[in-house]
Chain A
């Protein structure tokens, strides 16, 4: 085998599959990938359209959750108790207070 062939065999052996690539896309959002993971993922993404789309959608997901979270950071209340639950809560608290 010449050097080119040997490299090709080496690359194929080191190639990661889509499941691992998907995992690494996600892991890269939590922690720094090591060199081997980074290179493995990059080579996979060059060759795989579906995983490129996946990676791009996961970026979108990150942005969506960030935007969603920001809807609440100023204390905005979207979900409200029903009047019934609020009243019963109040009664329970009052009962507990006077019980002492």
Chain B
């Protein structure tokens, strides 16, 4: 192992030191505690096998997080390559029968039950951080998996559209349509659960 200031690995303490941090990281990105625990477990096992690839120029925590990150993206890829269930979402069309009418003269208009009813998505008065977190996590978890993946990559991990396209093998206009669908659903979920 390299000398000097470089970081060292101490696998015996990994679970105690990093398991909660990594689990939290995974829950935010997968919206599923069970899947999150599994992927953290896999991260530790991969890390054990790949100890020789650790160069010591980052901390243990950063190194483990980067392995976890990779594994989460693999899960996203798997979800998004399972296209049968998501055919409707991977499209370049912004048309959406659930939210807009496509009959008669009202073509392209909001469906009555899906339209917003005020300017604000926040309830009046102060909103506590944990209230905000609960409603967002609940509504993100209710999204179809492939929409949630794109939304989280973009909004939580600040991925660029190019990065998302590369990782998930989709086009920029797929990304825009999927972000649009995610926002339609999130807005509806938050409004009906909150206000």
List residues of A whose CB falls within 8 A of some B CB.
17-20, 22-23, 26-27, 29-31, 50-54, 56-58, 60-61, 64-65, 67-69, 71-72, 75-81, 85-86, 89-90, 92-94, 96-97
Contacts and interface: CB of A to CB of B under 8 A. Distances in A.
A75 to B, nearest CB: 7
Given A50-B110, A78-B133, A79-B24, A27 B180 contact: yes
B63 interface: no
B179 A26 contact: yes
Interface residues of B, number: 57
Contacts of A90: 15-16
B142 interface: no
A54 to B, nearest CB: 5
Contacts of B155: 65, 69
Contacts of A19: 94-96, 99-100, 108
Interface string B117-132: 1111110000001001
Nearest to B41: A89
A17 B45 contact: no
**Which of A19, A60, A94 has the most CB atoms of chain B within a 10 A radius of its CB?**
A19
Contacts, number: 140
DSSP majority for the A interface?
A: helix
A64 B191 CA distance: 13
B95 A26 contact: no
B163 interface: no
Contact of A93 (B28, B48, B95, B115): B48
B7 to A, nearest CB: 17
30 contacts: A20-B94, A22-B94, A23-B176, A52-B119, A53-B117, A54-B115, A56-B120, A57-B119, A58-B187, A60-B120, A61-B121, A61-B183, A61-B187, A64-B122, A64-B190, A72-B24, A75-B21, A76-B24, A78-B133, A80-B20, A80-B23, A80-B24, A81-B19, A81-B37, A89-B15, A89-B19, A89-B41, A92-B44, A93-B45, A94-B12
B11 A53 contact: no
B154 interface: yes
A17 B109 contact: yes
Contact of A97 (B19, B48, B132): B48
